[in-house]
Amino acid sequence: MLPVEEARARILAALSPTGAETVALPEAWNRVLAAPVAARLTQPPAALSAMDGYALRAGDGAAGATLRVVGSAPAGHPFAGRVGPGEAVRIFTGAVLPEGADAILLQEDAEAGDGVVTLREAVRPGRWIRPEGLDFRAGDILLHPGRRLTARDIGLAAAANHPWLSVHRAPRIAILATGDEIVLPGEALPRGGIVSSNAHALAALVRAYGGQPVLLPIAADRVESIAASAGAARGCDLLVTTGGASVGEHDLVQKALAPLGLAVDFWKIAMRPGKPLIWGRLGETPLLGLPGNPVSALTCAVLFLGPAMARLGGLPDAAPPFRRAVTAAALPQNDAREDYLRAFVTRGEAGQLMVTAAQRQDSSMLRVLAGAEALLRRAPHAPALPQGETVEILLLSELGL
C-alpha cells in the first residue's frame, strides 16, 4: 500500500492551477491572486500633513514666534501659493504640504490670532509630514501571485487604484455520494437507511478551501446509476466520490466508471482511516475516490482534497500545515498504516499545544470528529509514547474546518 506522502505527491503532480478571471475588488476577498498587483500611483502622491495645524518654514518655527496666516489648505484643496518667510498656512490632516513649507505646527501648540498664529512650542523640520511615496511608489509590486487575498490586501489594491483584480477561478469540485442505503437529510429513512452526511460535509469543506462545490445526485449501488451521476461532473476541476471504494461486491465506483474511461493511478494507501482511497482520471476530470465512512472521507479530504484544491486554486504551498504538540496522555504503538487520531487540544503553562487522543476512534463516529480540535498524526510503526513527547497535529480550526 502506498505511503500517505507519496499518494499526496502523485495527486499534486497530476493537477495544475485553474485559469485566471477578472473580478471586481469586493469579490476578490479570499480569492487567490493570479497576476502581480503593481501600484498604479505613488502613495501619498505628494507630501501631506499628518495633523491639523499650520504649515510653515522650520526656520521660522521658534517657540514664541508670530507668523502671518496667508491661506488655508483643507484635504483635497491644495494651497495655490508658496509659504514665504514669516508666513504660515492653516492646514488639515491629509492636505498637500504647500510649497516652501517644511514643518507642521500642531493646532494644540498654536495660539490663533487675527490673521496671525503664535507658536507655543518650537517645530521640528519634517515632523508631522508624510513624504511623497511614504507607503509605495508607482510601479512597486505590492501583491504577488499565489496569495490568498485578505481584507488588508483588498484595501491595499484599492489604494493602488485597482478596481478589478485577476484571480484564479475557484476550483469547481463535483461531489458524488454513492450507496443504496444513502438518503438526503430530511428524507424518509427505509430500514437500514443511512443519512448522507458526507456530501454535505464535503461541500462545506470545499467552501472552506475556497472552492465551489457541485453536488451531484446520489448514486445507487448500480453501475448505471454511478455512471450516470458521474457523467454530470464534466467541466468540473475534480470529481470526488464517497463510498463504494472498498473491496465488497457492492463497492462499485471503479467498476462503474471503467467503461467511461476511468484510469486509476492508485488504489489503497497505508493510512487509517482512509485505506481504500482511489486516485485517477475519468476522461479529462481528475477523480478522488473517498471511502464511505464519514470520518474516513473527511480525514482523506483534509489530507488529499485540501492540498489538491490548493494546487488547483493556484496556492504555492499545498502541504497540510502540521504543528508540533506535546502528548498530554500516553499513546500506544502504531502499526504499518499512518494513523490520524481524532484528538483534543489544550494549552500548557508555557502556551504549548497539549494533545490527547479521543478514547473511541471508530471511523463512523462524526460526533467525536466534530468535537475534536485536531488530527494527531502517528507515523507508520511509531513506537508507544509516554506523556510529554512531541507529536505532529493538524489543527482543524486553522484549516477553517
Contact residues toward ligand MOO (CB under 6 A) are: 272-275, 291, 293, 296, 363
The residue among 295 and 310 lying less far from ligand MOO, judged by its C-beta, is 295
Q: How far is CA 143 from CA 72, 104, 313, in A?
A: 37, 33, 17
The residue among 111 and 335 lying less far from ligand MOO, judged by its C-beta, is 335
CB of 292 to ligand LQZAQKY5, least distance (A): 3
Q: Is 198 in the site for ligand LQZAQKY5 (CB under 6 A)?
A: yes
User: Which residue is listed with cell 505511503?
Assistant: 3
Minimal CB distance residue for ligand LQZAQKY5: 292
The residue among 75 and 365 lying less far from ligand LQZAQKY5, judged by its C-beta, is 365
The residue among 142 and 252 lying less far from ligand LQZAQKY5, judged by its C-beta, is 252
Binding-site partner at residue 145 among ligand LQZAQKY5, ligand MOO, none, CB < 5 to 8 Å by type: none
Q: 321 has which bridge partners?
A: none
Q: 299 has which bridge partners?
A: none
Q: Is 140 in the site for ligand LQZAQKY5 (CB under 6 A)?
A: no
Residues 6 or more apart in contact with residue 89 via CB below 8 angstroms: 54, 55, 56, 69, 70, 71, 72, 73, 79, 83, 98, 101
CB neighbours of residue 50 within 10 Å: 15
CB of 323 to ligand MOO, least distance (A): 23
One-character DSSP codes across 336-373 = SSEEEEEEEEEE-TTS-EEEEE-S---TT-HHHHHH-S
Quote the DSSP letter at residue 305.
I
Binding range to ligand LQZAQKY5, per CB under 6 A, among 22-30, 271-279, 367-375, 380-388: 271-279
Interface pick for ligand LQZAQKY5 out of 61, 145, 243, 286 (rule CB under 6 A): 243
Give the footprint of ligand LQZAQKY5 on residues 337-376 (CB under 6 A). 363
Residues 6 or more apart in contact with residue 10 via CB below 8 angstroms: 2, 265, 266, 279
Binding-site partner at residue 225 among ligand MOO, ligand LQZAQKY5, none, CB < 5 to 8 Å by type: none
Of 196, 212, 192, residue with least CA distance to 204: 212
Binding range to ligand LQZAQKY5, per CB under 6 A, among 9-17, 51-59, 255-263, 293-301: 293-301
Interface pick for ligand LQZAQKY5 out of 61, 179, 211, 307 (rule CB under 6 A): 179
Count of H helices and E strands in the chain? Answer: 8, 26
Query: To which H or E segment does residue 296 belong?
Result: helix 294-300
Measured distance CA(234)–CA(19) in Å, rounded = 17
Q: 103 has which bridge partners?
A: 56
Measured distance CA(69)–CA(118) in Å, rounded = 10
Q: Is 273 in the site for ligand LQZAQKY5 (CB under 6 A)?
A: yes
Handedness of CA 97, 101, 106, 112 (dihedral sign): negative
Binding-site partner at residue 53 among ligand LQZAQKY5, ligand MOO, none, CB < 5 to 8 Å by type: none
The residue among 62 and 379 lying less far from ligand MOO, judged by its C-beta, is 379
CB of 180 to ligand LQZAQKY5, least distance (A): 9
Q: Is 199 in the site for ligand LQZAQKY5 (CB under 6 A)?
A: yes
Binding-site partner at residue 17 among ligand MOO, ligand LQZAQKY5, none, CB < 5 to 8 Å by type: none
The angle, 0 to 180 degrees and rounded to 10, between the axes of the packed helices 306-313 and 4-13 is 30
Interface pick for ligand LQZAQKY5 out of 213, 280, 294, 306 (rule CB under 6 A): 294
Q: Is 320 in the site for ligand LQZAQKY5 (CB under 6 A)?
A: no
Q: Residue numbers of the site for ligand LQZAQKY5 (CB under 6 A)?
A: 177, 179, 181-182, 194, 196-199, 242-247, 251, 273, 275-276, 291-294, 296, 363
